[in-house]
Structure 1
Amino acid sequence: MNNNMLFDFTVDKTTKTVLITREFAADLSLVWDAFTKQEILDQWWAPKPYTSKTKVMNFEVGGRRFYAMVSPEGQERWSIQKYTSISPKTNFKLSSAFADAYENPELPGSEWDLNFSEQNACLPDRQGTTKVSISIYNESLERLEKMIEMGFKEGFTMTLNSLEELLGTI
């Protein structure tokens, strides 16, 4: 892990929002693909030792990703994400909720706003760095507190670390 990369994780209970900023030593196109292509997402979108298994993904406005985080014992925890806005290589938004295996959501859910920006791209002797800023708004304070109690910060930090490792290999 590159310790010089920015990483910030803030919980704001007054606005029911989690704010995450993370830099990756990779070009914008590669980081964007890692967040938007099923074959790459499934390689990192779960804290180890869990794995990610996508059943359906169509990355387009109105599309969805229906996936499970699978425990080493084979237990599946399903979620559904519905894409509400996409601005290629700069931003996408989605609604996210836990679900059962039949895509029935457990509401309330959360609203994710992901922003991507390239840093240092014009410096000839430096690899591009991509900053990802994520805002996760929860419809209820109770859901936000449940996320935190379930270890979201630790799990998502591990997940982003897995992405960083993967980016170094592709």
Structure 2
Amino acid sequence: MTDAAHGHEKGKRMGSEQIATVDTADREIVIGRVVKARREVVFEAFTEVRHLSQWWGPDGFTTTTTAFEFRAGGEWVFVMHGPDGTDYREWISFTEIVAPERISLLHGEFRGDPEAFESVVTFAAEGAATRVEMRTVFPTKELRDEAAEKFHAIEGGEQTLGNLAAYVAEVVRKGEAG
């Protein structure tokens, strides 16, 4: 892969100016999966609360939404209920939406959370399937490491995309896809 695919953007020389190098590799988690459905169907599953509540979260989790407004500047406020009974309050602000290609968001426990992280979810058509990639950049390497080690963010993200794939397959099988 190119350095850009790993979150590296090399500095470029423009005249006598050096543009700063941005390197987020030590602060990011990237998870991807191919979902066997058209891009528009997969995007819809990510953008309508009636779908999200059916699949969002790792295995064994359920989601209760208290507010959802899918637009740039809109928010999704929800609680993820863990299989052990623990509730995890979550807050997402959608920062950019390019349907059906990309969703950029800020994700924390609450509005103004200083430890909130940025994510970009992309949807790339691959024939009749869709490659979904979630690229998350944390404010610090320490927060990234804590998410990976303490909260199992990589495994949880992979399970979440697995739940999306299973949900979309069922929607397509039933002919409910838009």
Q: Which amino acid aligns with 2:138?
A: N
Q: TM-score, normalised by structure 1?
A: 0.81
Q: Measure, in 1, the Cα distance between the counterparts of 2:98 and 2:120.
A: 11
Provide the identity percentage: 23
More helix by share: 2
Q: Which of residues 36, 39, 43 in structure 1 aligns to 2:50? A: 39
Does structure 1 retain, via aligned residues, the 8 Å contact 2:24–2:137? no
Which aligned pairs between 1:16-165 and structure 2 lie closer than 5 A? 16-72=27-83, 74-99=85-110, 105-120=112-127, 128-149=128-149, 150-165=151-166
Where in structure 1 do 4 or more consecutive aligned residues deviate above 6 Å?
10-13
Does structure 1 retain, via aligned residues, the 8 Å contact 2:29–2:154? no
Q: Which amino acid aligns with 1:138?
A: F
Q: TM-score, normalised by structure 2?
A: 0.77
SS at structure 2 position matched to 1:107: coil
Aligned length in residues? 150
Gaps of 5+ in 1: 1-9, 121-127
Given the superposition, is the C-alpha separation of residues 48 and 106 from structure 1 closer, same or farther in structure 2, using an over 3 Å criterion?
same
Does structure 1 retain, via aligned residues, the 8 Å contact 2:74–2:94? yes
More strand by share: 1
Which aligned pairs between 1:6-25 and structure 2 lie closer than 5 A? 14-25=25-36
Gaps of 5+ in 2: 1-5, 8-22, 172-178
Q: CA RMSD in A?
A: 2.0
Q: Measure, in 2, the Cα distance between the counterparts of 1:70 and 1:169.
A: 23
State the shift of 1:22 in Å.
1.4
